[in-house]
């Protein structure tokens, strides 16, 4: 009936207006998100830029077979997984610990100032922070000066395949723990204060209150965030790795995204690069779907 009224006045009804409002955005998505999806066919071709996507020869799964035979790819996938999982586990732990501790800070301006400072690195780009990290961890940087002070061997963090992954994981945790703690702090605030009072009456120590009330109260959100982070398991952080690595540590530092960039784009092997990228996207979407199911099953919430 409402629709009829609009039409009777000779104007567009809300329905038609709604479609028109959606139009510009959807057009952008079609051009800049969906057209590249069509471009995936280059993964099944020997793409030659001069011949274009519709003139190049189809070669089936050649590039995928090649990819799975390359010795590099196992190394790259394993680097990606180690770095991503390390970041998820340590980052989550650190954010939880920090939010529990920060929650104990009662002096308001101390709490506020600490928050302002620890959120800051999240807003700076890895381009900027890479210089900060290089500055600290280079051979003559402050970290090595400290090692020397304690009589320990110098470590070439940025040029050592043993130390590069821990460095990547550690500095990412450093950048993000403050910001990730926001959701955990919100979860702590929503815990019923009555529980703490009751526990206090029973003589529970601070540690027991944390263990038996705070952590269980945070559990749903911890699970949800954990499940959501599964989605990122094949994106170990292009910006960070790209800005910190160098040929010496390709062996331990190359992740799928940097590999696609290096081999596919810089090396101009467009078809091969697209194939590796597609491999990543497909596994990513499978993981995301599973994560969503897991989230629904265990936390009663879903991601989308």
Partner 1 sequence: MSYSANLKDRIGRFVIYAIVLMLALVCLLPLWNIVAISFSSSEAVSANAVGLVPVNFTTAAYTKIIEDAQFWRSFGISVLRVALTLVLNMILIILMAYPLSKSKRDFKGRNIYMNIMIFAMLFSGGMIPSYLLIKNLDMLNTIWALVLPGAVPIFSVILVMNFFSAVPKALEEAAFIDGANPLQVLFKVYVPVSIPALATVALFSIVGTWNDFFGGLIYMTKVSNYPLMTYIQSLNVNIADLLQAGTNSSELSNLTEISNKNLNAAKIVVAVIPLLLIYPLLQKYFVTGIVVGSVKE
Q: 107 to 146, contacts with partner 1 by CB under 8 A?
A: 110, 113-121, 123-125, 127-128, 130-136, 140-142, 145
Question: Which H/E stretch holds residue 75?
Answer: helix 71-103
The Cβ of residue 228 has, within 10 Å, a number of other Cβ atoms equal to 17
Residue located via tokens 């038609």: 16
If the CB atoms of residues 8 and 33 are measured against partner 1, the closer one turns out to be 33
If the CB atoms of residues 152 and 286 are measured against partner 1, the closer one turns out to be 286
- Min dist CB 119 to partner 1, Å, is 7
* CA atoms of 30 and 23, how far apart (whole Å): 10
Member of 29, 61, 148, 198 binding partner 1 (CB under 8 A): 29
- Min dist CB 134 to partner 1, Å, is 7
Q: Which stretch binds partner 1 (CB under 8 A): 83-91, 153-161, 194-202, 222-230?
A: 222-230
* CA atoms of 146 and 154, how far apart (whole Å): 9
SS3 label, residue 271: helix
Member of 7, 14, 208, 290 binding partner 1 (CB under 8 A): 14
Transcribe 180-223 into DSSP letters.
HHHHHHHHHHTS-HHHHHHHHHTT--HHHHIIIIIHHHHHHHHH
Question: Which H/E stretch holds residue 104?
Answer: none
Interior angle at CA 265, CA 261 and CA 269, nearest 5: 115
Q: Write out the binding residues for partner 1, residues 196-215 only, by CB under 8 A.
A: 206
Q: Is 229 in the site for partner 1 (CB under 8 A)?
A: no
If the CB atoms of residues 63 and 87 are measured against partner 1, the closer one turns out to be 63
- Min dist CB 115 to partner 1, Å, is 8
Q: Write out the binding residues for partner 1, residues 78-97 only, by CB under 8 A.
A: none
């Amino acid at each position: 009936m409402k629709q009829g009224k609009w039409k009777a006045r000779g104007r567009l009804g809300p329905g038609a207006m709604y479609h028109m409002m959606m139009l510009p955005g959807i057009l952008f998505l079609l051009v800049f998100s969906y057209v590249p999806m069509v471009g995936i066919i280059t993964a099944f071709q020997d793409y030659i830029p001069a011949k274009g996507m519709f003139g190049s020869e189809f070669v089936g799964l050649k590039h995928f077979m090649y990819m799975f035979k390359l010795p590099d790819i196992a190394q790259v996938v394993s680097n990606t997984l180690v770095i991503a999982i390390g970041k998820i586990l340590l980052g989550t732990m650190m954010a939880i610990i920090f939010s529990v501790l920060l929650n104990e800070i009662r002096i308001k301006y101390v709490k506020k100032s600490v928050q302002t400072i620890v959120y800051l690195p999240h807003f700076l780009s890895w381009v900027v922070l890479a210089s900060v990290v290089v500055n600290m961890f280079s051979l003559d940087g402050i970290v090595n000066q400290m090692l020397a002070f304690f009589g320990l061997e110098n470590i070439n963090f940025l040029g050592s395949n043993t130390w590069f992954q821990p460095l990547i994981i550690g500095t990412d945790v450093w950048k993000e723990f403050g910001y990730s703690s926001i959701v955990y702090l919100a979860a702590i605030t929503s815990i019923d204060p009555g529980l703490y009072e009751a526990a206090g009456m029973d003589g529970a120590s601070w540690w027991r209150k944390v263990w038996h009330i705070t952590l269980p109260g945070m559990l749903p959100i911890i699970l949800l965030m954990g499940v959501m982070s599964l989605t990122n398991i094949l994106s170990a952080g292009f910006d960070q790795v790209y800005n910190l690595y160098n040929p010496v540590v390709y062996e331990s530092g190359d992740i799928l995204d940097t590999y696609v960039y290096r081999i596919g784009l810089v090396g101009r092997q467009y078809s091969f690069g697209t194939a590796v990228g597609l491999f990543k996207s497909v596994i990513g979407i499978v993981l995301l779907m599973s994560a969503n199911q897991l989230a629904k099953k265990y936390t009663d919430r879903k991601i989308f």
